[in-house]
Amino acid sequence: MNPSDWRTYLVTQASLSGDRTTPEIVRAAIDGGIDAVQLREKETSARSRHELGHELRELTAEAGVDLIVNDRLDIAQVIDADGVHVGQSDLPVGVARDLLGPDAIVGCSTATVAEARNAEAEGADYLGVGAIYGTSSKDVDDGKDGVGPARIAAIADAVSIPVVGIGGITADNAAPVVDAGTAGVAVISEITAATDPEAATESLVAAAETTKSVATREHSQ
C-alpha cells in the first residue's frame, strides 16, 4: 500500500496494553480496519523486537497491512518489513534509503517545516508530524500541548509527500488533523489502551474516512 492511502496507522507500545500482548492488539486493529502498523517498542531489547517483529510480519502480511519498523533498519531487513521510520536523532533518511533500497517505505518524524522539507529532499516517502495534541505516550517536541493542526497544515502545504499526524489523536479529535491536509492519523493509546481495541480502531477509521470523503467532495465542487 502507498502511504498516501493510509488513513489509520497504529504505533505499538506494549506498556499501554494491559494484560494483552502486542500481537493481540495488532490483530484486533487489523480486524478493525487499520492500514499500517509500526513496530516501536523502544523499551524492549533488540532480541525481543526481532521476535515480535516476525509475529507481526506474519499477521500484517496475511492481512495486506503495511508493517513499518521504528528506527532499527537491521530488524526491518531481517523480518522483511515494508519499511522503516526514523526520527531526527536516528540515522538520516538518506542512509535508510541507501540501505533498504528504492522499494522500501521510509518515513521520518518531523515537527517543523524545515525538518519536513529536509526529509523530503533526502528521499522520505512520508512524514509523521507531532505530537499534534498533548500526549503521555510520545515525546512532544513543541510544548506540552503539542504542535496543533495549524502546524501540520503548514507542513502538508510545504511538501508533496504524504503526512500523517500523531500524538494525542482520538476518534473525537481526528477530523481537524485530516482537514489539515494529512493522508491520515497515527495513534498509540487510542487503540492500545482501549477496552475494545477492535471497536476503537473502527471508530478511528470511520472518523478519518468520513472527514477525508467530505474534504474530497468539497475540493471537487
127 is in an annotated binding site: no
39 is in an annotated binding site: yes
188 is in an annotated binding site: yes
Instruction: Give the C-alpha separation, 158 to 75, whole Å.
Output: 32
Q: Which of 57, 138, 151, 203 is catalytic?
A: 138
Q: Is 57 labeled as catalytic in the residue annotation? A: no
Q: Is 109 labeled as catalytic in the residue annotation? A: yes
Q: Which of 7, 27, 72, 109 is catalytic?
A: 109
120 is in an annotated binding site: no
* 77 three-state secondary structure: helix
* 126 three-state secondary structure: strand
Contact between 164 and 6 under an 8 Å Cβ cutoff? The reply is: yes
Instruction: Give the C-alpha separation, 162 to 50, whole Å.
Output: 28
CB count within 10 Å of CB 130 equals 29
Q: Is 138 labeled as catalytic in the residue annotation? A: yes
8 is in an annotated binding site: no
89 is in an annotated binding site: no
One-letter amino acid for residue 160 of the chain: S
Q: Which of 40, 49, 57, 151 is catalytic?
A: 40
168 is in an annotated binding site: yes
Q: Which residues are annotated as a binding site?
A: 38-42, 70-71, 90, 109, 135-138, 168, 188-189
Show which residues are catalytic: 40, 109, 138
Q: Which residues are annotated as a binding site for Mg(2+)?
A: 71, 90
